[in-house]
Structure 1
Amino acid sequence: MTMTYTEVAGADGAWTRSLLRVLAAPVEQVRRVLTELALTWPVAAFLPGEAGAPVTEVVLYRDPSRTYGTPTPSACDAAVRRLAAATGWAPEPRQTRNGVLVGLGLCEGYDAAATTHSPHEVADHLLAVSAFGWYCRTARLVSARLVDRAVRWYEETGVIVHAEERLSAAIEAAAFHCAQERYVVTHLTERRTYALQQSSDCGSPP
């Protein structure tokens, strides 16, 4: 039996947007702001930087769900406008980019006590394939969604990878190495977004 990643949810479009702060904000302040936003929009975000470090950038994206669906790009743009109006954070101008944008957690599974990997281990998988065409940086991966009238918050240390499409297999190898059960790909080239989840491939019967 071999393990593989299978697409379990997807949506048209490859929406992502960065908001910048002139002055860094404490992590707790950013958590409060994003929790408030989650009352009206399912938050999926990367906070570039080391765990606990003040936040100067928030990268928002869409996390497709079979249970809850996926917000439309127009709904995402409206969420950015609300966030900017409430905080004064400055949305970056829209950019036409290619390749794939992926966030990978560094903790195996969802157990905080499990083995935690380093950003260098992810970078090594990419470097083994190519010395160029990718960029990897440390970030906190966060999600906040309204479920049963309460915001469900999840956060872990991870990395953001922006890479050429040809390096998708190397990203998948890094995800296996870090024992990630699920991750989301914002495919900027194909203009679609999808979630990949680990599954077993038992092969064909004899």
Structure 2
Amino acid sequence: MQSRLVDPTAALLALRKSSSAQEGPARELSLLVAVEVGSRASRPRPHRPCAGGRSAPAAAMRHLPYFCRGEVVRGFGRGSKELGIPTANFSEQVVESFPSDISTGIYYGWACVGNGDVHKMVLSIGWNPYYKNVKKSVETHIIHTFKEDFYGEILSIVIIGYIRPEKNFDSLDALISAIQDDIGEANRKLDLPEHLKLKEDNFFHMPESKLVNGH
């Protein structure tokens, strides 16, 4: 069957359904392979409070859960060197594939490197005001200790919830303290039953040959 470009959300949902179905036409669907994929669930999501009792922006919640996959590229190297909190960076192309109206800020969810295990993660979307970045970035801190770097590997993430908006800080120590609070919040939130079930989502077990190029 000839490869063809399809709607990313519809195709992702179809593939996730087909993984548990019998052999049939859905399993034979041939899709155009891409480096990254971004899509959101089509069903509406409730407006949930975020950390500290604040109300999460509607622009954050309406896109969640958000599924994304892309190659890990080298960033500024500040996460490990200055903060002691290593992060995995997506390429500019993947960052640009995110919804243009998604709120900047700190989020939590699940992440998987290559075909490895799925771990908790905390993620930032934005310009990192403390460092005054010129370009928007999406940086993922996986709450797990890796023995070595994984540049060039494929990182799959599902963003589940919103923690707080991005903000500037008076000092590096204040920034580190805030990130540690974010990690603690993510740990607690991801232990909730409704969030734990997404750890087992078929998205994390989808072969790379089934990625969808939606752009």
How would you bin the TM-score normalised by the shorter chain? under 0.3
TM-score, reference length from structure 2: 0.25
Question: More helix by proportion, 1 or 2?
Answer: 2
- Higher relative contact order at CA 8 Å, sep ≥6: structure 1 or structure 2? 1
